[in-house]
Amino acid sequence: MLDTDNAPAFCRGDFVVNRRDLVVEWGHCDPAGIVFHPRFIEYFDWSCIAYFEAATGLSQVGLKEAYGLAGIPIVDMEARFLRPVRYDDHVQVFTTLEALGTSSLKYRHCLVHSGEVAVECRQTRVWCRLDPKDGKSLKGHAVPADLVAKLKK
């Protein structure tokens, strides 16, 4: 759901913000009962497509049909882990864009628990279509202009 007004400062800027509510499951945790750090990357990965779905009203399949989207692979990422998150915690993941290049998308994600930011993450991804030469490889492509317009506040 688009929730630009309630986003933490790290996830505010010139683009809309999407919020996903999650409950931490047992399988997300290490033996100490805290979220195993790679799971946060999964949460943020899921949130990238959810961001476009919320902004456009299209599913991932609809994005493929409307815009030729084949994927948005990560080319760079950094994360800061500020406080632990545990089994059965109810959290919110806020996702926005920090910047948008021709084909690059710089995401910001904040995972919030009990009103406090627990994890901040920046990701750079590339908007890709299938390479017309082989129909299988991903190839960077310009983010469609009408999609960009839907992402701006």
Give per-residue pLDDT as tens, 62-73. Answer: 999 999 999 999
For residue 153, pLDDT beyond 90: no
Give per-residue pLDDT as tens, 65-97. Answer: 999 999 999 999 999 999 999 999 999 999 999
Is the distance from CB of 51 to CB of 105 less than 8 angstroms?
no
Helix (H, G, I), strand (E, B) or coil at 49: helix
Q: What is the mean pLDDT of residues 108-132?
A: 97
For residue 48, pLDDT beyond 90: yes
C-beta neighbour count of 140 within 10 angstroms? 16
For residue 4, pLDDT beyond 90: no
C-beta neighbour count of 59 within 10 angstroms? 12
- CA–CA dist 131, 112 (Å, integer): 38
* Residue 88: predicted pLDDT: 96
Q: What is the mean pLDDT of residues 38-42?
A: 95
For residue 108, pLDDT beyond 90: yes
- CA–CA dist 26, 65 (Å, integer): 36
Domains of the chain, earliest start first: 4-151 (3.10.129.10)
Residue 22's region, left for phi above 0, alpha for psi from -120 to 50, else beta, is: beta
The string of DSSP codes covering 56-71 is HS--HHHHHHHH---B
